Homo-oligomer: A and B are copies of this chain.
Amino acid sequence: MELTVYLAGEIHSNWRQELKEKAEVLGIPLNFVGPMENHDRSDFIGEEILGEQPNAIYRDETASKINNFRTQILMRKSDVVIALFGEKYKQWNTAMDASAAVALDKPLIVIRPENLHHPLKELSNKANVTVETVDQAVKVLAYIFDEK
């Protein structure tokens, strides 16, 4: 049995790479999917495909359509969602993806630094598990397959 894991959250650090490597070391049978990690491409994908837009708001609107299209497809294919919140940025689309996962009955792990516990308290309560490090998230994934 292989599971597919959607990795929602910030695209400014290499946490996805770290998580994939640690999962591989442990031999956990997982596939990973997630958002476009090239930040500029993610922001300009609307204009890249549909041409120049009248202003910044419409550039954002066309980009978000295509990013949400990608996320909807890949999240539907996933068995588990992991959402990582970092120290910086608004990260409202991460919160949106995490909440959608819960509503779709997809098990959810939240990764956040301890000092974000207060603003994330309602989302943590909806998640199955909240951890502080990528390492802990990998251990939770490994536990699915452990027999002893």
Contacts and interface: CB of A to CB of B under 8 A. Distances in A.
A136 B66 CA distance: 11
Contact of A68 (B4, B89, B116, B126): B126
Give the number of copies in the complex. Answer: 8
A110 B120 CA distance: 20
Interface in A126-148: 126, 128-129, 131, 136, 139-140, 143-144, 146-148
Contacts of A50: 131, 136
Interface of A: 1, 3-4, 31, 33, 36-38, 41, 45, 48-50, 54-58, 60-61, 63-74, 76-77, 79-80, 85, 89-93, 95-100, 102-105, 107, 109, 114, 116-126, 128-129, 131, 136, 139-140, 143-144, 146-148
